[in-house]
Structure 1
Amino acid sequence: MDVQLWKKRLEAEEKKRLSPFATLSLNAQRERDEETVKQDHRTAFSIDTDRILHSLAYTRYIDKTQVFSLIPNDHITHRVLHVQIVSRISRSIGRFLGLNVDLIEAISLGHDIGHPPFGHDGEQYLSKICHSHGIGYFVHSCQGVRFLRDVERKGRGLNLTLQVLDGILCHDGERHQREISPIRGKTFSDLLKEMEEKEQNPQKDFVPTTLEACLVRMTDVISYIGRDIEDAIRLGLIDRKDIPKECRDRLGDTNGKIVYNLVEDLIQNSFDRDTISFSKEVSEILKILRAFNMERIYLNPLIKTQAKKIENLFQYLFERLLEDVKTFNKSSPIVCDFLNGMNTRYMDSTKPEEKVRDFIAGMTDAYFLRIAREMLIPEMLPAKFK
């Protein structure tokens, strides 16, 4: 079988099958040409999905906090499950809208790779430290692009497509909006400029360059809003009857109902359009529900009792590891576990503070606590010395 001929058939079928607003695989852009990619039987965005799935950064999702940290409950959502739910919901909607589901899957699975340990709280702590050290604010969407582009494969990067990296940079699922339309025609120069600007001003909003990325951005909230409510109920933080009545009446009072009704509304208001949109009514209801989650779940003091300790550990680890980088302490975990074997491009172009940022951002919650324990708590010495 001629693999390349079959691949061309797949790409030709996309032209016939997909919406005129969809992103075709043959239009994928990479920073560096790869002969192996040209000979590959997979389409461009399918290759990106596999590269993300097999990355070390994706593997570390398994112990990355979504909302609830330090809670020994196996049924609480972690980030690895969240990105899979985003992928599933986004691809289901994408099929209805005639979009490129391979691109949707790659963006969905990679969109939260830049999150540090301990979720959004950890992001705030690390951002404050990074800014005080003159390397800009820490933004998890920028860090996700950095991991995949500059850190993976010992600093060689994965050479993902512009469309996937742009979707990761612009996913911003914490920002409420009724609708979003792509700004087409971006380049890699635009991507790097937007990263730089966002790390100087995290509130700055950048719109994706594909409709697929716009969809992932909107389905991010669909994926977590009801799921976080279920987790909070399971932990006893809220009761189901606490959900605002107007939200229960329009969207339902379970995660399944909330997801179904939000998806239905999004499809109906986005079909055959170059825009991903909720209806005005549902957008307002969703805004109320997000405010409820923020007050009763995300800012609930019952889950913040260890916050100051964690913040102090972030500060301690950053300063201690920074000193280890500057002296290239070979016994330090940042040298042994991270910098050892890094290529010269990364080593020469990355400031010591940036290396520490990258190392800490990549930690799982458990690894962060283990390293902190090893650095802070003295070990017993042998009973006798010879």
Structure 2
Amino acid sequence: MNPSESLLDATMGYLQEREALFAPAATKSSEAIRRRVEESPDLRAPYSRDSDRILHSRAYARYIDKTQVFSLLENDHITHRVLHVQLVSKIARTVGRSLRLNEDLIEAIALGHDIGHIPFGHFGESCLDAICRREGIGRFRHNIQGVRFLDEIEDLNLTLQVLDGILCHDGESRATRLSPLPIEDADPFLEFKNKIDAVQSEHPAVPATPEGCVVRFSDTIAYIARDLRDAAEVGLIDGFSDLPEEIREQLGTNERDIINTLTIDLMETSRTGEDCLIGFSDDIGSALNGLKTFNYRHIYEHEKTRGQDAIIRKMFLAVFEALHEDLKENRSESRIFTDYLDAPWISESYKNEISPAGAVRDFIAGMTDRYFERVYTELVLPRKFESYRIETIGSSDSRRYT
């Protein structure tokens, strides 16, 4: 049911009044760009509509069983991807509100920023990247994959500003200050495609909006201290007291204080006038990069975290090659068809254009950790039957499994 004209007018009037209070650099709803014009009236602002589309996407639903850092660990208190995304959204909207930026745009970027992550986190990404390069289909990057899930595979017709923020989120970067680089080409989606190609070729990408910059730094704030807490939970470190003294002095001695210090510094250092700059002060930025170094050394590259990498790499190879063979041989009973290509939410244009290796890449990239393990088990282990009966055939006994 379409809203009445009076309700629509009142809502649009309120949105215009609210956006009149935005900072000069903030992204207005009137600037939203989509591939296809949408004529139907809607009470939601464009970026709010994008948030809803992301929330209702299949890719978003799969956040629930994608791990953050510790993949092969049974512990209900360890952070999963869906919780991380919620934390990023909360921090980024708090920062955006203080800087008078567009919170609707911030929320949409934050909710979608990690949708391209695959089973077993960043190590899984490196495994799939190696396979993709071997197959000649380009490097695999989870930020590019996130754009592909939402823009190509599910074809949600999201705004360019949201897709750009997802592409450029890169929370692992050591940059501590950013000035947005607006997309100004007469054909903005062509310029965006060139930007994707640049990221594919290992060139750093800067968000086109200050809201995208805020999400990028909020991503770092959300994971950097939470990963320390998780590492203490599983016994990799004793606690925040293991941090170097200079980091504890600058950032704090617990998760809450570190998040608070980084968030407030980001608010106080950033400026959203005509000379827009989003980032941290020199001292806090330096301490943050020191904390990243500590986390890599004591958490992400720890032998206990990386202890089963060889097994995981073999799993990725086995799953990719088996599904690729199923697709080339057109085995319609394979999960590559039943659970992916034959699904009604896969766009026809995608199915017509994607290569076999590309389709397998996308299918694996969308899997949750648990589903990936199940597919691997089905592909490499003998099938177990639910019951058996013994029949006598001729004069000899033989077992027949049914």
TM-score (norm 2): 0.92
Q: Is the 8 A contact 1:25 1:43 kept in 2?
A: yes
1:142 is aligned to 144
CA deviation profile, 1:105-146 (whole Å, cap 9, x unmatched): 000010000011000000000000001100000000000000
| Aligned-residue offset at 1:198 | 2.1
| Aligned-residue offset at 1:271 | 3.7
Match among 21, 26, 39 for residue 17 of structure 1: 21
**How many equivalent pairs are there?**
378
1:287 is aligned to 289
2:108 is aligned to 106
Q: Is the 8 A contact 1:7 1:41 kept in 2?
A: yes
Structure 2 gap segments, 5+ residues each: 390-399
* Change in CA separation of 1:272 and 1:213 when aligned onto 2, cut-off 3 Å: closer
| Aligned-residue offset at 1:379 | 1.7
1:238 is aligned to 237
| Aligned-residue offset at 1:13 | 1.3
Greater shift in the superposed pair: 330-339 or 177-186: 177-186
| In 1: Cα distance, 2:384 partner to 2:351 partner | 36
CA deviation profile, 1:339-375 (whole Å, cap 9, x unmatched): 0144431111111110000000000000000000011
| In 1: Cα distance, 2:384 partner to 2:205 partner | 52
Q: Is the 8 A contact 2:269 2:280 kept in 1?
A: yes
* Change in CA separation of 1:378 and 1:278 when aligned onto 2, cut-off 3 Å: same
1:277 is aligned to 279
Letter in 1 for 2:250: R
Letter in 2 for 1:164: V
The SS at the match of 1:226 is helix
| In 1: Cα distance, 2:368 partner to 2:330 partner | 23
| In 2: Cα distance, 1:96 partner to 1:77 partner | 27
| Aligned-residue offset at 1:272 | 4.1
| In 1: Cα distance, 2:67 partner to 2:369 partner | 7
User: What are the residue-to-residue correspondences of 1:162-241 with 2, within 5 Å?
Assistant: 162-186=160-184, 187-199=188-200, 201=201, 203-240=202-239, 241=241
The SS at the match of 1:301 is coil
| Aligned-residue offset at 1:16 | 1.7
State percent identity of aligned pairs: 47
Q: Is the 8 A contact 2:266 2:278 kept in 1?
A: yes
Letter in 1 for 2:248: R
Q: CA RMSD in A?
A: 1.3
| In 2: Cα distance, 1:9 partner to 1:141 partner | 35
User: What are the residue-to-residue correspondences of 1:350-361 with 2, within 5 Å?
Assistant: 350-361=354-365
Q: Is the 8 A contact 1:11 1:24 kept in 2?
A: no
Greater shift in the superposed pair: 255-264 or 371-380: 371-380
Q: Is the 8 A contact 1:117 1:364 kept in 2?
A: yes
The SS at the match of 2:105 is helix
1:367 is aligned to 371
The SS at the match of 2:76 is coil
| In 2: Cα distance, 1:62 partner to 1:159 partner | 24
CA deviation profile, 1:45-65 (whole Å, cap 9, x unmatched): 000000001111000000111
| Aligned-residue offset at 1:70 | 1.1
The SS at the match of 1:225 is helix
Q: Is the 8 A contact 1:11 1:26 kept in 2?
A: no
Letter in 2 for 1:128: A
1:345 is aligned to 349
| In 2: Cα distance, 1:138 partner to 1:279 partner | 33
1:301 is aligned to 303
Match among 28, 44, 47 for residue 46 of structure 2: 44
1:126 is aligned to 128
The SS at the match of 1:122 is helix
| In 2: Cα distance, 1:224 partner to 1:114 partner | 17
1:255 is aligned to 255
Letter in 2 for 1:138: F
| Aligned-residue offset at 1:209 | 0.8
CA deviation profile, 1:149-194 (whole Å, cap 9, x unmatched): 1112xxxx10000000000001111101120011113411111122
CA deviation profile, 1:62-120 (whole Å, cap 9, x unmatched): 01111111110001001000010000000001000000000000000100000110000
Q: Is the 8 A contact 1:14 1:24 kept in 2?
A: no
Letter in 1 for 2:293: A
Q: Is the 8 A contact 1:7 1:43 kept in 2?
A: no
| In 1: Cα distance, 2:374 partner to 2:248 partner | 42
The SS at the match of 2:164 is helix
Letter in 2 for 1:242: D
Report which of the two structures shows the higher radius of gyration computed on alpha carbons. Answer: 2
| Aligned-residue offset at 1:304 | 1.6
Letter in 2 for 1:40: D
1:3 is aligned to 7
Letter in 1 for 2:8: Q
Q: Are residues 1:31 and 2:35 paired?
A: yes
Q: Is the 8 A contact 1:52 1:106 kept in 2?
A: yes
Structure 1 gap segments, 5+ residues each: none
| In 2: Cα distance, 1:89 partner to 1:237 partner | 26
Q: Is the 8 A contact 2:153 2:347 kept in 1?
A: no
